[in-house]
């Protein structure tokens, strides 16, 4: 089987989350994906068991195949991380990892319309049983709400123009696919913006995806549960990919600093130049690590 996702900062993550040497230890990988990080941990530590969560059942199937040789120490669960911690017991786990966002698999293989470079049906749900898809957001939200989503979750300065163009176009016919949506956005923005560093649809697609999956709302709930279910002296590592995520993580840990947690990364760790060159999507990543007091 082919794995398309490059794990971000693999060495830094391994160096930040070290299980106790004596006895069995348990790590929760809250965002297993294709299992790149989990595989490294299982290979490195024979005393470690990994509970691996992912909202997306399709990607978890790939991780199961990858982890065959470690199956006895690998427990995959198709659940959202915030849901998982609602029922997790206190002070259970030694290590917890969050690698937020989506995987290259979603852009390249899922066929669910995460990429504006492909002609796919507009869906963008990580969990295919969720009630709201990207098609519902794009065709159903009132113009002002759509503009707010694009502004807030995409930090897109042309959010109002883009929302207006979407609403005008959807009156003609329902917007079903990524190619048409990308074209509408392209035409809606000023010509100079069309030839910038980012494709003009990048921010709007990110915004719709975050809205569809409720991504930001889940982070704080999950972090609170993770701290509760972490053993004293245990560690949490979080990799974020954009300022909206990083801000939530940073302030959540700052609020608990000194009282409940010790922040081990006063400044977040970032990928080396070598990694950024080899894996350009890693360039915006930030890794924050805390230890429970």
Ligand X SMILES: C[S@@+](CC[C@H](N)C(=O)[O-])C[C@H]1O[C@@H](n2cnc3c(N)ncnc32)[C@H](O)[C@@H]1O
Can you tell me the distance from the alpha carbon of 133 to that of 152, in angstroms, rounded to the nearest whole number?
Answer: 18
First to last CA, the chain: 42
Element (H, E) at 107: helix 104-108
* Interface with ligand X, residue 101, by CB under 6 A: yes
* Minimum distance from residue 250 beta carbon to ligand X (Å): 19
Contacting range for ligand X; rule: CB under 6 A; set: 76-84, 130-138, 189-197, 229-237: 76-84
Q: Pick between residue 144 and residue 217 the one whose CB is nearest to ligand X.
A: 217
C-alpha to C-alpha distances, 134 to 50, 157, 216, nearest whole angstrom: 32, 21, 16
Choose, by CB under 6 A, the member of 102, 134, 188, 227 that binds ligand X: 102
* Interface with ligand X, residue 271, by CB under 6 A: no
Q: Quick count: other Cβ atoms within 10 Å of Cβ 173?
A: 9
Per-position x/- string for 7-46, each x denoting binding to ligand X as judged by CB under 6 A, each - no binding: x----------------------xx-xxxxx---------
* Minimum distance from residue 54 beta carbon to ligand X (Å): 4
Counting beta carbons within 10 angstroms of the beta carbon of residue 90, is it exposed (0 to 12), middle (13 to 18) or buried (19 or more)? exposed
Q: Pick between residue 167 and residue 270 the one whose CB is nearest to ligand X.
A: 270
Can you tell me the distance from the alpha carbon of 202 to that of 193, in angstroms, rounded to the nearest whole number?
Answer: 12
Residues 231-250 that bind ligand X (CB under 6 A): none
* Number of residues forming the site for ligand X (CB under 6 A): 23
Counting beta carbons within 10 angstroms of the beta carbon of residue 64, is it exposed (0 to 12), middle (13 to 18) or buried (19 or more)? middle
Instruction: List residues near ligand X by CB under 6 A.
Output: 5, 7, 30-31, 33-37, 53-56, 59, 80-82, 99, 101-103, 126, 218
């Amino acid at each position: 089987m082919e794995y398309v996702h490059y794990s971000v900062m693999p060495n830094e993550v391994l160096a930040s989350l070290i299980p106790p040497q004596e006895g069995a230890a348990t790590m929760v990988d809250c965002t297993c994906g294709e299992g790149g990080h989990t595989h490294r941990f299982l290979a490195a530590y024979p005393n470690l068991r990994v509970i691996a969560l992912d909202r997306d059942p399709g990607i978890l199937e790939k991780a199961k195949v990858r982890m065959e040789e470690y199956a006895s120490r690998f427990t995959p669960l198709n659940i959202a991380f915030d849901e998982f911690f609602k029922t997790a017991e206190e002070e259970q786990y030694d290590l917890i990892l969050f690698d937020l966002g989506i995987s290259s698999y979603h852009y390249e293989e899922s066929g669910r319309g995460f990429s504006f470079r492909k002609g796919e049906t507009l869906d963008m749900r990580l969990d295919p049983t969720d009630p709201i898809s990207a098609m519902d957001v794009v065709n159903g939200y009132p113009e002002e709400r759509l503009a707010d989503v694009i502004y807030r979750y995409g930090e897109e300065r042309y959010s109002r123009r883009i929302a207006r163009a979407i609403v005008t176009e959807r009156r003609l016919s329902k917007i079903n696919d990524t190619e048409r949506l990308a074209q509408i956005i392209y035409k809606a923005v000023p010509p100079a913006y069309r030839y910038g560093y980012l494709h003009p649809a990048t921010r709007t697609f990110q915004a719709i995806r975050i809205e569809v999956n409720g991504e930001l709302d889940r982070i704080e709930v999950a972090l609170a549960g993770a701290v509760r279910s972490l053993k004293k002296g245990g560690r949490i590592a979080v990799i974020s990919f954009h300022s909206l995520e990083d801000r939530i993580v940073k302030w959540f840990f700052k609020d608990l600093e000194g009282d409940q947690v010790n922040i081990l990364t006063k400044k977040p760790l970032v990928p080396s130049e070598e990694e950024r060159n080899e894996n350009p999507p890693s360039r915006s990543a930030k890794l924050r690590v805390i230890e429970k007091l």
